[in-house]
Amino acid sequence: MSRYLFVVPPLVGHINPTVAVGGELADRGHEVAWVGHPATLRTLLPQGACVLPALDDELEQRIQDARQHWLGLRGMAVVKFFWQDFMIPLARAMVPGVEAAVREFAPDVLVADQQALAGPLVAHRTATPWVTSASTPAELFRPLKSLPKVEAWVDAQIEDLVHEVVGRSTPDIRFSERLVLVFTSSALVGNGFPDHYVFTGPALSHRPNRTDFPWHWLADGQRRVLVSLGTLNGAAGERFFGEVADAVADLRGVQVVVVGPPGSLTRAPDHVLLAERVPQLELMPHLDAVVSHGGHNTVCEALAHGLPLVVAPIRDDQPMIADQVVSAGAGIRLTYGRVRAAEIRGALEEVLDRPGYAEAARRVQQSFQAAGGASTAADHLEAVVA
């Protein structure tokens, strides 16, 4: 039996893969714990999971407020704010709690999400073996390589943080030299990565479902579409949601579930349901297509169920994820800020009516199944200790 400590930021999409991997490890008899923001973790983890604090509610709120401000920025201001006002402060804030968790839990392996830099910092300071949980593949491609001065500035921010916390230089703390778990497959990202980069496909098991849904609303004989902009962007999606409602207003034989805050839709026909939250994984088998902002979790969950996509990326890694979907033939990309109802309707009808998109989605689905998901990730984590 070994002990595994997952270090995660207070972000749903970064926590979810660790829930599956941690659950698989626990099923094999290992001890598993998570360290991060307790209130966020307890809504996502199975009841009774071991949770250790690294962020209190006040610090978490400050981090979330900073992230909300960041969502309103554009251009290079996005990169600067992301590192200077989000990633680096988050790491500093989490270091004491992660260090205390390492002392208390004494892990054999520390599994650090790529946006929880406190994990590798403490691992280096305490000589704890550590691996990376890459919840999105964007950083693997050096997204700033075409902007060498900006990339050098980011590298300098990380190096200064490392010297501040560890007291010496280390290899790039964004990626472990032992193991990098990437929750996608070569069908989307291609090949050519180092051998210790393991592409497991999405890890979707062991997630508790605590969200109600009016299942009776789903009518027999209808095709069904999910529209989601993710947990962070939904509040800013009123214009997009309105265009979606207009796009499907007279679309017969199709039911549409829109995930957004109350009031996101000022007008909606009877075959459109607005829900603040949905049990997304449980809903996927009942769907025929997904309209998404290109968040890695939603895209991979859709493709894991063989569903074609209409993707309207907003920021961050989303344009890259959207391009991967298009390159795989599994969907259509739209321009989020300018798209109108007619374009949304045309894209939606195309992915629903032309079987090539669903066939391509099923090819990606098969690659995910072959990659092994949480089971493969657990195999490799066990090998780190062996």
In the chain, the domains with their CATH numbers are: 3-178 (3.40.50.2000), 215-369 (3.40.50.2000)
How high is the pLDDT of residue 85?
86
Q: Nearest 5°: CA angle at 109, between 107 and 111? A: 110
- 104: helix, coil or strand? helix
Q: Tell me which DSSP letter residue 136 carries.
A: S
For 132, 341, 354, the CA distances from 159, given in Å and listed in that order, are: 18, 46, 50
pLDDT digits (tens, 9 = 90+) for 314-337: 888 899 999 999 999 999 999 998
Distance of CA 190 to the CA centre of its chain: 19
What would the two tokens of residue 315 be? 């920021």
Strands, sheet with 109-113, edge to edge from the N-terminal-most edge strand: 50-53, 31-36, 3-7, 109-113, 130-134, 180-182, 197-199
Please indicate whether residue 128 or residue 314 has the higher confidence score (pLDDT): 128
Residue 234 has pLDDT above 80, yes or no: no
Residue 244 has pLDDT above 70, yes or no: yes
Distance of CA 366 to the CA centre of its chain: 20
**Residue corresponding to tokens 């980069």:** 197
What would the two tokens of residue 19 be? 């829930």
Contacts of 257 (CB under 8 A, 6+ apart): 224, 225, 226, 227, 272, 273, 275, 278, 283
How high is the pLDDT of residue 68?
72
Helices (H), the chain: 12-27, 38-44, 57-71, 76-81, 88-105, 118-126, 148-165, 186-189, 230-233, 238-247, 280-283, 296-304, 318-327, 341-353, 355-371, 373-385
How high is the pLDDT of residue 264?
84
How high is the pLDDT of residue 231?
65
From the number of C-beta atoms within 10 Å of its C-beta (0-12, 13-18, 19+), residue 134 rates as buried
Type of residue numbered 146:
S
Taking residue 194's Cβ as centre, other Cβ atoms within 10 Å add up to 9
Q: Tell me which DSSP letter residue 84 carries.
A: I
What would the two tokens of residue 139 be? 């950083």
Residues in the chain: 386
- 113: helix, coil or strand? strand
Confidence band of 81 (pLDDT split at 50, 70, 90): confident
Residue 37 has pLDDT above 70, yes or no: yes
Measuring CA to CA, which residue among 106, 27, 47 is closest to residue 374? 27
Dist. CA 320–CA 167, nearest whole Å: 35
Confidence band of 233 (pLDDT split at 50, 70, 90): low
Taking residue 112's Cβ as centre, other Cβ atoms within 10 Å add up to 28
How high is the pLDDT of residue 111?
98
pLDDT digits (tens, 9 = 90+) for 188-232: 998 889 999 999 999 999 999 889 999 999 999 999 999 999 865
Residue 236 has pLDDT above 70, yes or no: no
Q: Is the Cα torsion angle 12, 18, 21, 23 positive or negative in sign?
A: negative
How high is the pLDDT of residue 6?
98
- On whether the CB atoms of residues 150 and 309 are closer than 8 A, the answer is no
Dist. CA 322–CA 285, nearest whole Å: 22
How high is the pLDDT of residue 59?
81
pTM (two decimals): 0.92
Dist. CA 379–CA 5, nearest whole Å: 16
Confidence band of 235 (pLDDT split at 50, 70, 90): low
User: Mean pLDDT across the stretch 356-364?
Assistant: 98
Type of residue numbered 378:
A
pLDDT digits (tens, 9 = 90+) for 265-311: 887 889 999 999 999 999 999 999 999 999 999 999 999 999 999 99
Lowest mean pLDDT among 62-66, 129-133, 355-359: 62-66
How high is the pLDDT of residue 288?
98
What percentage of the chain reaches a pLDDT higher than 70?
98
Q: Nearest 5°: CA angle at 271, between 266 and 275? A: 60
Phi, psi of 157 (to 5 degrees): -60, -45
